[in-house]
Amino acid sequence: MTSLHTPRVRRRRLGVAAAAAGLFATLLTAGPAIASPEPGDAATQETTVSSERTAQVKAAIAAGEIPGVDEIVHSPNIKHLANVPKDLITGTNSDLAFQGNYAFSGNYDGFRIFDISNPKAPKTVAQVLCPGSQNDISVSGNLLFLSTDSSRSDNSCNSVPQSATIKESWEGMKVFDISDKRNPKYVAAVETACGSHTHTLVPKAKNVYIYVSSYAPSASFPDCQPPHDGISIVKVPRKAPQKAELVKFEVLFPDGGNPGAPTNPGVSATSGCHDITVLPSKNLAAGACMGDGVLMDIKDPERPRVIDQVQDNVNFAFWHSATFNQGANKVVFTDELGGGGAATCNAAIGPNRGADGIYDIVGKGDKRKLVFRSYYKIPRYQADTENCVAHNGSVIPVKGRDIMVQSWYQGGVSVWDFTNSAKPKEIAFFERGPLSTERLVGGGTWSAYYYNGHIYSNDMVKGFDVLRLDDRLTDPAKRIRMHELNVQTQPDYFADFRH
């Protein structure tokens, strides 16, 4: 299904959100029924907005300050090529991975494989029902990996929700054989402490290592005991994936990490990591670990070693994800303020919270340090009925420049340049109007990644979108052709792929 839209320019920034703090505080306490109680990619609970707030949102739409309900707007340098709605797999869409002419779409109910050989008309190749939030997804060779971060009755795809207080409950990693894309086969499962909220592949010769990020332990959970100050490491032999096994639990925070409140009010206490991005070509990893950001040496994939550790107890509530620039001298960390379920892209929250933090990497070897330079947040205010905060994105490979495409839930897709770490700026955008003017309904783009000349976005509600970016700053990236992309296993675009 293809839909083309004429750009509509916003007349001015939305200025009706100044009193959103009450709604925001309410949403911070909301959480999904079976996911972890901490923030981090929570399914937004529908929340009624006051009649005054509803009137303000409707007035903003009428004034052209924000798009209308479901209306698509974008900058002139972006074209919306295609949208494929959800089909048999109807849960919340999550992350994306790529291989050859295929895109792999995670969903809380399983995963879907698209043929993207014609980006204007993606075709469904397979849909696999295998419930278990978030179903964070990645691929390597003939293997596909899924994260399960909701307590289940067993490790099968027929499992049902079951309390984590029951010892026999299961959470962790699932492995599929995708040598036949039309018929994926489930071949292995590995249980990990506190499940697998996200995961990161570290390919190494005949094996694939998986760094499993999870958090929110409880004394009442037999398989998720506090303090849980680290990550699980799983080893998968490529030629015998059925022998996948947990090789160790690596403690990253022997001092316990950020204590959170009351020492640091409004900041998540560290009890594990939310997401890790590795840069294998440099033996580096960056961890977004709830209350902490870390830089790690991963020369030995079974022994990741923290080089530097930073906190931002003023503007960061929840360190969510990390992205290296191509030169490996910068890291962009995201703050998922409100857990993805709150309206934080408004005047009440401001430009420095729920934003990206740009850090330079200075020094060499074990003396490398993360040094804060600036924040980046989309420059368009969103309605108080739109969940919006910094989320998943990827580098756009352009030599000599640092450019990123990124999801902002109902804030849409933003393309921005951080070549000057102190002065980031947006160069393109795509977004839909609010799902509702009367209720805060969770939706928007979960992941937006650049792959082989196009931007692919997984919208939680609306489905799979394909965008084309035509801009003098980013056009050189079209010459880079990749055979595989898992964004959290960040490639060296100019060494690993052909032009």
- Bigger pLDDT: 40 vs 468: 468
Q: Where are the alpha helices (DSSP H) in 29-88?
A: 51-62
What is the per-residue pLDDT for 498? 56
Backbone angles phi, psi at 383, to 5 degrees: -70, 160
Instruction: Report the percentage of the chain scoring pLDDT > 90.
Output: 86
SS3 (DSSP) at 139? strand
Tokens 């509803």 label which residue? 54
SS3 (DSSP) at 367? helix
Residue 328, Cβ neighbours under 10 Å: how many? 16
* Amino acid identity for residue 68 in this structure: G
**pTM for the full predicted model:** 0.91
Closest CA to 296 of 375, 202, 208, 204: 202
Per-residue pLDDT tens digits for 428-482: 999 999 999 999 999 999 999 999 999 999 999 999 999 999 999 999 999 999 9
Q: What is the chain's mean pLDDT, rounded?
A: 91
Q: Which two tokens stand for residue 126?
A: 């397979």
Q: Is residue 284 scored above 60 in pLDDT?
A: yes
What is the per-residue pLDDT for 495? 83
Tokens 């959103």 label which residue? 20
Q: Cα 427–493–202 angle (5° rounding)? A: 115
Q: Is residue 24 scored above 60 in pLDDT?
A: no
What is the per-residue pLDDT for 51? 83
Q: How far apart are CA 107 and CA 420, in angstroms?
A: 36
Per-residue pLDDT tens digits for 304-328: 999 999 999 999 999 999 999 999 9
Q: Where are the beta strands (DSSP E) in 130-283?
A: 134-140, 143-152, 170-177, 185-191, 198-204, 207-213, 230-237, 245-251, 275-279
Per-residue pLDDT tens digits for 133-163: 999 999 999 999 999 999 999 999 999 999 9
Q: How confident is the model at residue 33 (pLDDT cuts 50, 70, 90)?
A: very low
Q: Which residues pair with 292 in a beta bridge?
A: 289
Q: Which two tokens stand for residue 428?
A: 């393109």
SS3 (DSSP) at 280? helix
Q: Is residue 11 scored above 70 in pLDDT?
A: no
What is the per-residue pLDDT for 48? 76
Q: How confident is the model at residue 10 (pLDDT cuts 50, 70, 90)?
A: very low
Q: How far apart are CA 34 and CA 186, in angstroms?
A: 24
Q: Is residue 75 scored above 70 in pLDDT?
A: yes
What is the per-residue pLDDT for 50? 82
Per-residue pLDDT tens digits for 216-239: 999 999 999 999 999 999 999 999
Q: Which two tokens stand for residue 58?
A: 């409707």
CA dihedral 418, 420, 423, 428 (to 10 degrees): -40
Q: Which two tokens stand for residue 426?
A: 């947006």
SS3 (DSSP) at 451? strand
Per-residue pLDDT tens digits for 335-369: 999 999 999 999 999 999 999 999 999 999 999 99
Backbone angles phi, psi at 439, to 5 degrees: -135, 150
Q: Which two tokens stand for residue 53?
A: 């707030």
What is the per-residue pLDDT for 1? 30
With a CB cutoff of 8 Å and minimum separation 6, the contacts of 205 are none
Q: Which residues pair with 208 in a beta bridge?
A: 203, 236
What is the per-residue pLDDT for 44? 55
